[in-house]
Amino acid sequence: MIDLKLNSMGFEGEFASYEPLRRILNSEKIKAIENRMRIRDVNSDTDTSFETNLVHKQNLPQSIIQPDLILAIDGSNLTAKAVNGFPGAEIGYVTVASVLIDLKLVRELEKEEFINPKDFRETEKASTIESVFPGCNVILDSEKCAKSSFRRALFDELRSNVIFSEGETLLDTYEHLFQLKRSKYAESHLPKSPIDGIEEDMTYGHGEYVCPHSGEPLFSTDALRLHELMNPGGSNGELFGQTMSTFEKLWLIHILRSFEKKGWLSTLHRVAFVMDGPLAVFSTSSWLTKVIEDELVRINNLQKQINGQDLLIIGIEKSGTFFNHFEEIDTNQEGINDVFPRQSAFLLDDDYIKKNIIFSESQKPYGQDTYFGRKFFYKTISGQRIVPVVAWFNNYQKNIRTANADQFTRLGDVMNLLDSLVSSRYPNSLTPLISAHAEAAIPLNLGTRIFEDIAREIRKKSTKC
């Protein structure tokens, strides 16, 4: 059955009548496509199969040392009208917030009958980077168009952001990943040059350099190809959204590399990283996925030699197809909720995903080109449904064709963390992400020095243990 949703009409105050909808529902073409649609066999594929991959928290090992510091990363992007005399001119405001939460201090405050709001605020430290990008009809300085203006702004923003005043920049982090790509994953077909009127392939280089065909400037960040999302004649929500998402993933790697260069990897045994959204890179910059995975594996192996356990890096999907399916299997045929047992996880494999969530008959594993982590469903002790994505660090964990408990990094510790972090105010989300989102939406702690304070806090807490 096709469910038609009534879209808004083209003119203010105009409403659709039901007659066009009736004609659509009776359309022979609608009926024809309904007859051609594949229908999922719910009884055989859903009602019983999730129980075979169900694991209970009480049956899983947990680490002796549990993380008591949560570093949450979330971004926000807004568009604003730019007044420059050109119609539709807009700019994009992108922020990425990092919020450190001291769980030990939170637990101490929870023992009190009344919590002083000031004391509770002191359990969090926040830092935010902000970036502004030109969109439609916004031309910077002597640039020739909005697209070239965006390309320059992207390069400048990566170059100007850094965690520590004496460390590598976000551009350095990106260019390290870019060099990994060029050395390990050479492209058979290069993308076209970003310069209008040049039909030759893109010329890769380091930093800012000169195009050999036009003499105009090129940037190493052109390889992200985000400029291809530029809409020169309208709003650029997709461009700014993908830019924000790319910044979030680069920021995670930037943090880890900065801790490595400082010699602080030993401090990471008490830190869990929580990110809003999946551990994945989509759209034009999806090539980052493989090199981010490689860099995470390298850094994880180094810190594991010191700390004896894998990093905890978790993404949280609060909506979307996977979350909707979790809600579906948590409801029986009579419409009663809470069928799924609490403190239990349903471990997803490729076969189940393709049969029940994202239909596909492809031999390529789900998410192979975009994800650097794997998903599962978890029902917390309070009954909240969470869709986490945990980073993988070896080929066994990455093999999505099977779903064993030891293929999901520190699964018992992740479950324990989700039980303690789940929000009672906002369903199916975690309190650190709520704080990070609030900071990203209304940034009050801009600048790099704040993150140096966060880093010192992590070191101080870790050295006391």
Q: Which residues contact 329 (CB under 8 A, 6 or more apart)?
A: 46, 50, 339, 340, 346, 377
420 burial type by CB count under 10 A (0-12 exposed, 13-18 middle, 19+ buried): middle
Residue 104 is predicted with a pLDDT of 83
Nearest to 96 by CA among 448, 424, 347: 448
Tokens, residue 173: 């982090």
pLDDT of residue 352: 94
pLDDT in tens, 329-387: 998 777 778 889 999 999 999 999 999 999 888 999 999 999 999 999 999 999 999 99
Residue 15 has pLDDT above 70, yes or no: no
The confidence score (pLDDT) of residue 339 equals 87
Q: Does the pLDDT value for residue 423 go beyond 90?
A: no
In 170-210, where does DSSP find H-type helix? 170-184
Q: Using CA atoms, how far apart are residues 332 and 352, in angstroms rounded to an integer?
A: 19
Q: Rounded mean pLDDT of the chain?
A: 87
Distance of CA 151 to the CA centre of its chain: 22
- Confidence at 434, pLDDT banded by 50, 70, 90: confident
Sign of CA dihedral 412, 414, 420, 426: negative
Per-residue pLDDT, 48? 45
Across 434-454, average pLDDT = 69
Residues 343 and 379 sit within 8 Å (Cβ to Cβ): yes
- What average pLDDT does this structure show over 290-316? 97
Rounded Cα–Cα distance for residues 56 and 379 (Å): 10
Closest CA to 437 of 280, 296, 307, 275: 275
